[in-house]
Structure formats: structure tokens, C-alpha cells
Chains A and B, each alone.
Chain A
Amino acid sequence: MESNPIPELLPGTLYLLILRTLSHGPLHGYAIVKRIKDASREGLRIEDGSLYPALNRMLVKGWLTSEWGVSENHRKARFYKLTPEGRKQLDKEAGEFDRLVRAIQLVMRTA
């Protein structure tokens, strides 16, 4: 494990991951981190410290809204939800990301 550290996130992909994670429904901050960690089979980890700045920047941009609710273990938690604009942004960024990855892979295989 130590010899194979978790890779750094590509710049700009944090927004994309959060948007994607929220596309199934509202989640609180910790659940977002956990969902990303699980989905990537621990291949990706989001720094706790950078999650909230990112979430708030997305709130400012109007991609997300937030609401206080109750978590699965009955604690008060803030849930984040995708706005229609956020969904549009997700489609756009996902497309861009796909193209980027495909291009990189092409280069890696053929060059």
C-alpha cells in the first residue's frame, strides 16, 4: 500500500467527480467522499480539507444547492443537490473528460 500511493487528482476533475456523485441524488459531504472512495475502489481519495472549499465554489457558481437534513445515523447534516445548471455542467465536463482521456490513451498506445 505504501509503495503504491493514491495518485493525485488531475486538476479540475474534483468538480466532475462531485457532480457525477451527486447525479443520483442528494448527499452530504462525508457521503460524497466515501462514495468516490468506494466507487474508485480506494483508487481516488479526496482530501477532506479541499472538499468544502470545492463544494462552496460550486454553490457560488449555482451548480449545487444545499439543504440541512438528517443523516442515516440520525445526525443533522447538510445535503448537496445538483441544480439543472449543475447537470448541464456535468454533461459538458464529462464529455470533455472523455475526449481528453481517449486522446491521452491514443497517444499512450500509438506514439
Chain B
Amino acid sequence: MAFCNEIGNRLAWLFRRSRFDKELEEEVRFHIQARADELEQAGLTGADALRQARREFGSTLRSREETRSAWQIRWLEDLGSDLHYAARALRRNRALALAAVASLALGIGANTTIFSVAREALFSEPSCRDPQSLVQISVSGNTWIPMPQYRFLEDAHAFDRLAGMNIQMVVNWRDGNRSYRLAGTRVTDNFFEVTGIPVAMGRPIERGESDVAVITHGFWTRHLDGDPNVVGRTLELDGKPYTVVGVLPRDHRMLAGFGFTPDLYLTKDPIEVMLYARLPRGMTRQAAYARLKPICREMDRVYPDVNRKWAKEIRLSAVGGVERLEEYGQGAISAVAFFGMLVVVTAIVVLIACANVSSLLLARAFTRSREFAIRMSLGGSRGRLVRQLLAESLLLALLGTGAGLLLNLWLTRLLSGVHIPTPLPIELLLQPDRMLLAYSVVIAFVVTLATGLVPALKGTRAGIGGALKEGGRQTGPAGYTLRNALVIGQLAVSILLLSAGLLFLRNLMYATSFNAGFDTTHTVTAIFQTVGGTYTPQRFAALVDTALERLRALPGVEAASPASAVPLNPFLAFNRPGGRFRPDAGSRTVRVEYNSNAVGPEYFRVMGIPILQGRAFADSDGLGTPPVVILNENLARRLFGNTNTVGHILRFPDNRDVRVVGVARNSKYATLGEDNAMALYESYSQQNHTSFVHFIVRTRGAPETMARKVNETLAGLDAAAAVETHTMGEIFAGALLPSRVGAAILGSMALFGLLLASIGLYGVLLYATQQRIREIGIRVALGATPGNVFAMVVGQSLRLVAAGVVIGLTVAAVAVRPLSMFLVPEVRPADPMNFVAVAFVLALVAGLATVAPTARALRVDPAVALRHE
């Protein structure tokens, strides 16, 4: 407390220093005068009295100095004057300072932006009351639990406060005479009560309520124009009126994390839910687990299931941070790895920029080594000099970090507005926060040390005698060696960046040009979803038939097919079942996991996927006829080996027997990056569907113009149905998005790193040449040819580049291996061609950076150079 007061007093003093000095002077004058008055009364004359009083007081200067030091915060004032001095030094070299700050800022801006995005997407705390006591529960190793089992847990009073939510729901919203598909999250009626999710307007959904909804801020502003009277308004969702009771705040973060943002939460019990429980005060997770375990055993007795043991793999995990991430498994791991890689790559760029700044400061420190030697010989402490030199890098680091943060604010504002229309839309809410600030402070600190420490230590180490004796001209071998080492390091990590960048670029090129295994140029796809419960399977099948008839009747349409899934579709992923299959209904079982689709007879024609053996589906493969399937090559080989597959019988894990009628060529299904994916097609009309189907249409001309007509045709069938039409090209572009983002970030970072490294090389070569002008002059005077001079400069450049390339390639050969997880299998990180190309590019750029220093060396005129001294 007292200490704080003291600091406060001292800081306040800083602001009234000039007044303080004046007052102190006045006070001392009064003191002396008062003494003189007294002496005068004792009998001295006025002048004598004053003189005596002055003598008695002693040195007023020393007294003032000491008095002032009572207030000063020494290091702060030193820092102030150091920064002031550093600012002056930087202002003198404005262009260099600007280049240094700009390169630091770009690197730091990119790095902190990735930090912001990663933090928000992966580690953000969800919006809810007291997240510490809220847990997500998974039983039998699954985060999803069917509704009857949820009710069982509820009735068993496993926890008083248990709630469920289902994030993967699509809701039809009828607004006037249009229907939209919304991402709706269905929740149990007590969900808001248990989680304590705050609402901005109105109130949350309450226990016992049905047919009510809470809408998100995004939906409210995007679709309802921010209607201030929205609370109480009725929305027709899936054909039923729902009352809006509340609006969520703009910064609502869903429990599911990853920036997932639904359009609304509504009450309706789904088929299965993710389970959340509020633990009673003081209950540990172990205690909660112990309570849950016997109840799950009981559940195993009541709901026996061959595939699931409820009491197995019970987990209670936190709703935020790392644990939530672990709950998501493989997907989360690759997301973390991807962000981690980007953070590393951008950090490398910052380091390359640091190396340039450091090299610059090193050169400066050496040219000033004579000044330092003098200061030290006059009693200046080395620590003080080191601090002064560090102030310069501190200033650069602060400016660079500050500018980088501005860049971060701009970029994150830009990214915050992006609404990625995945099934559950992703919208990141990026805001600067304390973590970002702390991260930036760490960066500034690291940059300061990385750029300043070595120059400051090396620059002040030159022995007093040495530096003075050699006239301050010689920069000493230490300076060269260090700067050379810095450049070699820069070149080496540039190789690393370039290798990674090239891989992602090739990945993008490959993904753009390669054959997905189906035609993407003349295809339109439509998602068609009716309100649940309005159709029986028979009536829905009739509706689909009518739709196909009308689509085929459109001019410009070649063929049309229903399908339950569309490949590479970000809107609805493939259902990927698996299990033990019995080929030929025999005793041998094969465990497979495959992409499942149910398609019509024209599907393969529409998609341009050739049938290699047997036949496509026919109109005769309908309900009531023996079930038939078509396999892709991979699955056929896996199940039946290399024999002819057609005609074989396949027994499903649920003991259904089907006959294989054809083998289709392999293509891509879920992602472009997948390798050897297996697929199984069933006949659409042999299955029961009641509300949801895709239509895939092959057009003669450009698909863009047909998309609207397809949309109109389908919308005319059922006014309540939600219809969404895309060309296959659009969907394909969506699938390419990760490759594009990766290539754009890594490519630009690699080029930027290369640019910085070449600037570093250029700087070192030019500096070395300038330092050696006299030497070159002597050599030329003694008969060295331009060829010799050329060889001297280019030789130095070559040595540096060669060392950088060798080190860089060695590191890169190992370091880029893990990148294969982000690349299509056809782009191999170990491909030697990558490294050859990278080394070539680097050598080319290094050659360009050598041109100017070489020209400078060749221009040396011995007469001028020797007079130089």
C-alpha cells in the first residue's frame, strides 16, 4: 500500500518537474536569506552575512541534484532518454527504420491474426453461466445419445440438471411465399435453464414450453432486418408456428465451439442429443462419473444393444478449452495442426524480418564501436551501453508490434464478417482481448531480444584498446561472421518456407485441375426438403417422380436423378457407415467403412461416372424387387478381390442380402484429399424417403443459366418445401476452399520470407563491399582484373547461398513431411522435384540480390578508393 503510494507520488512528480526545479531554487534562496537575516541581526553587514550564509549552505547544485534524485525513478528516466535517443537515431535513417518496422509489422500482423482466429475457433469459452461446473457427457464413447436413453438418464435423476441439444438440424422456414432452410439447434425445454446462456432481448426458453424459439443476433439482423418488435413474433418453422421469445447477444458463442452459429434454437425433441449436465456445487467429475456409471449399467439392462454398451467409455468433459477439442477427435487434431503450422510459418517470417533488423543494428553497432570504447574507457558501464542499444531494438519492436496489431485489427474485422455456409454455419467473432495483448507483449519482447541482444553484446565487447587502436575502421571478423550466419539462417528458413509454400501451391494446382472422377462442368444440384411429416413414403416417391419428369421436360436438360448425397458437398456430408460385411453371404466377414449414397438410374450418366462392370440401376429396381447395389472399384476389390463382382450377393451387417449389379469407377466423395475411398450405391427407389432428396441435373449448355429454372421447377411442386440450387462448379469451389486458403497464406508468406531474405543478403553483400572498397582499390591498383573483383563478391554470395541452401534443404526434407496430412495424396512432400525447384528459385533471387553489390565493387576506382582514407 505504502509502496503504491510512493510509486504514485513519483509518477505524479514526473509531470511537474520544471515547476519543481523552480520551487526548489526559490526554497533554497529563502533558506540562505533567512540565515543571512539572522547573521545580520547578530552584527554582520548585509553582504558579509549573505556570503557567510552561502558558505554555510554549501553547494546548492549538489543539494538540488540530491533532492531531485529523491523523486526520480532512475531506470524509467534512463529508458525515456534511451528511447528518445533511439528515436532520433531511427529518424535519421527513416527509410531503413520504415522498412524494418513494415517487415516486422507484416509478419506480426499475420502471426497475431492466425493466433486470434485459432484462439477463437479452437479455445474460446462458450457463452453460458459458470462454464466450470457445466460438463458434456458422452456414453459408450459417443457424444450423441438417443432420446429414449436421454429420458432414462433424466428419470434416473443422474443429475438434477441435465439437458440435451442437437446442432445438426435443418429447419424449413416459410416467410411469405418463400421457404428457406435454416440451421436450427433443437434443445430440450430446460436447456437454457441448465446452461444459463444469456439472452440480449426477451427471455430464454423456459421449462415446460413448446413451440418457442430463441433466435441468434445474426439471423435477426440478416433475415428479420433487426425488427425491434421481434419478441412475440411468430415464425412458421417446419409448417408449425413458433413464437420468438428471445434474441441472443451478438457475441453469443455456442457450446459446440468452432465458431458454429445456428440461426435459431427451438424446442423440439430431436432423435438424438448431445448431453450436458450442470454438476452440483462441489461435485468433482470423478464423483459425477461414479454416479453415472451404475445408472448406465442399468440402462444396458433396460436397453440392450449389440453395438453399444452404454456403461462403456463414459466421459465427462469441459465445455471449453482443450478438453472440448479432445472430444472432437481427429477433425480437431488436424485443425489444431493446421493452425499450429500457420503460426510456425508466420513466426518464421517474423524471425527472418528480425534477422534483417539485427543485421542492420549489428552493422551500426560496429561502426560505433570506437565511440563505445571511448565511453567505456571514461567509466561508462557496459550494461548502460547495452541498454542503450537495446532501446533501439525495443523501439523498433514496439513500432512493429503496434503496426502489426493494427493490421490484426483490420484483418480480424474483415474475417469476423465472414459467414461460412456449412450445414451448421461458421461465423467467428474475433475481438481483440487481453490474451492477444499478452501475446503481442511476448512477441515484442522476443523481437527486441532477437534483434537487439546480439548486436548490443557484440558491439560493446570490442576491447577498449583494440577498438581505439585500429581507428574504429575495422569492423572485425566477429561482425562479418555473425552477419553471415544471420544471412545463412535466413536463406535456410526461406528454403523451408518455400518448400511448404510450393507444396500447397502444387496441391491447389492439382486439386483445381485434377479429375474428381465425375463431371463438374455441366451439372446442377438442388437440395429439396419438405416439411417433416407431410408425406408418406409413397406420396414422397410420387413427388420425386413428378419432379424428375418436370426437370427432364425442361429444354436444355439431358438427364436428371435423385440422390441422397452429393459428392464434395459442404452442405451435407456423406453418410459414412461401416461394419462387417459377408461377401456371397458366406462365413468370411470383411470390415469396411464406405461412403453411402442412394441414387436413381440416370445418376451415373448425369455425373459422368462410367459403369465398368455390369449395369447402372434401372427403373425396374423399385420397391418390392430384390435389392441391388453398385460398388465402386475400391470396395469391389476389397470385398471380392479381383474377380468379376457382378452377380455376387453381399450380406450387410444387419443381415440384409443384396445383389451386386455393377461396379462404378472410383471418384471423390467426401473430400478432395481422400485416398482409396470406398463407396456403395443403393437404388433410390428401393428405399423409403419422406422429406429429403437431392436432384442432380445434367445440362446441355452452361449450368449457371439452368440453375434458376431448376429452382423454379422444384419450388412449384410444394410451396412449403425449401429448395436450394447450386451448380456443381460452386460446390467444387467450396471443396477447394481449404486448398485455396492454405496456398494463399503459405504462398504469400513464402514469397514475403524470400523477399526479406534476399534483402538481407543484399544488405550484407553491399556492406561487405563498402567495407572493402580500400582493399579492392589496392587489389585493382596491383593488377587485379574486373574478373578477380567479380569473383570476390560473387564468391562470397555463392558461399552464403550454398550454405543456406544445404542447411535449408536438410531441414526442409524432414520438416515438410508432416504436411502430407493437409495435401492430396498425389502431392508428395518428399518429392525431390520440389526441392530442386525451391533451390533454383532461391538461387535465382539470390543472384538478383548480388547484382548491385557486384556492380558497386566493379566501379571501384583505385585512385579514389585510396584517397578515401
Residues on A facing B (Cβ under 8 Å): 28-30, 34, 47-50, 52-53, 55-57, 59-62, 68, 71, 73, 75-78, 85
* Contact between B27 and A53, CB atoms less than 8 A apart: no
Whole-angstrom distance between the Cβ of B798 and the nearest chain A Cβ: 63
A28 touches B30 (CB 8 A): yes
Pick the most buried of A52, A55, A59, A85: most chain B CB atoms within 10 A of its CB: A52
Q: How far is the CB of B310 from chain A (nearest CB, A)?
A: 68
Contact B10 A60 (CB under 8 A): yes
A52 vs B38: C-alpha distance in the bound complex, in angstroms? 20
- A–B Cβ pairs within 8 angstroms, 9 of them: A48-B31, A49-B57, A49-B62, A52-B66, A53-B69, A56-B68, A60-B6, A60-B10, A60-B70
B57 lies within 8 A of A59 (CB): no
Query: A56, B67: Cβ atoms under 8 Å?
Result: yes
* Interface residue B76 (Cβ < 8 Å from any Cβ of A): no
Q: How far is the CA of A30 from the CA of B282 in the complex (A)?
A: 67
Instruction: Output the nearest chain B residue to A45 by Cβ-Cβ distance.
Output: B56
Indicate which residue in B5, B30, B35 contacts A77 across the interface (CB closer than 8 Å).
Answer: B30
A75–B27 CB distance below 8 A: no
Verify if B71 is at the interface (C-beta below 8 Å from A): yes
Which residues on the B side are within 8 Å of A28 (C-beta)? 30, 34
- Does B63 belong to the interface (CB within 8 Å)? yes
How near does chain B come to A100, taking the closest CB pair, in angstroms?
23
A9 to chain B, nearest CB (A): 16
- Chain B stretch 23-65: residues in CB contact (< 8 A) with chain A: 23-24, 26-28, 30-31, 33-35, 37-38, 56-59, 62-64
Given B13, B23, B30, B70, which contacts A75 in the complex, CB threshold below 8 Å?
B30
Chain B: number of interface residues, binned into ranges: 20 to 34
Q: Quick check: B71 and A56 within 8 Å, CB to CB?
A: yes
Judging by beta carbons under 8 Å apart, are A48 and B6 in contact?
no
Contact A59 B9, CB 8 Å, known A47-B58, A49-B58, A49-B62 = yes
Q: A55 vs B24: C-alpha distance in the bound complex, in angstroms? A: 11
Residues of B within 8 A of A (CB): 2, 5-6, 9-10, 13, 23-24, 26-28, 30-31, 33-35, 37-38, 56-59, 62-64, 66-71
Partner of A49, one of B2, B26, B27, B59: B59
Pair B37/A60 contact, Cβ less than 8 Å: no
Cβ–Cβ contact A77 & B62, under 8 A = no
List B contacts of A50 (CB < 8 A): 63, 66
User: Which residues of B have CB within 8 Å of A52?
Assistant: 24, 27-28, 63-64, 66-67
**What residues of B have a CB within 8 angstroms of the CB of A57 in the complex?**
70
CB of B23 within 8 A of CB of A30, answer: no
Complex: A50 Cα to B70 Cα, angstroms: 11
Contact B37 A73 (CB under 8 A): yes
Our pick among B2, B35, B70 for the contact of A62 (Cβ within 8 Å) is: B2
Which residues of chain A have C-beta atoms less than 8 A from B57's C-beta?
A: 48-49
The residues of B that contact A73 with a CB separation of less than 8 Å are 34, 37
Please tell me which one of the listed residues B5, B31, B62, B71 contacts residue A29 in the complex, with CB atoms under 8 A apart: B31
What B residues does A59 contact at CB under 8 A? 9, 70
Q: With A47-B58, A52-B24, A52-B67 given, is the CB distance from A62 to B6 under 8 Å?
A: yes
Evaluate whether A53 and B6 lie within 8 angstroms (CB atoms) in the complex, with A30-B34, A76-B26 already known.
no
Q: Which residues of B sit under 8 angstroms from A47, Cβ to Cβ?
A: 58
A55 CA to B5 CA in the complex, in Å?
17
Q: How far is the CA of A105 from the CA of B27 in the complex (A)?
A: 39
Given known A-B contacts A49-B58, A49-B59, A71 and B70 have beta carbons under 8 A apart = no
Contact of B35 among A30, A56, A68 (CB under 8 A): A30
Contact check: which of B13, B31, B67 meets A30 at CB < 8 Å?
B31
Q: Who on chain B is nearest to A31 by CB?
A: B34
Choose among A29, A30, A50, A75 the residue with the greatest number of B CB atoms under 10 Å from its CB. A30
**Pair B27/A29 contact, Cβ less than 8 Å:** yes
Name the B residues within 8 Å of A68 (CB-CB): 23
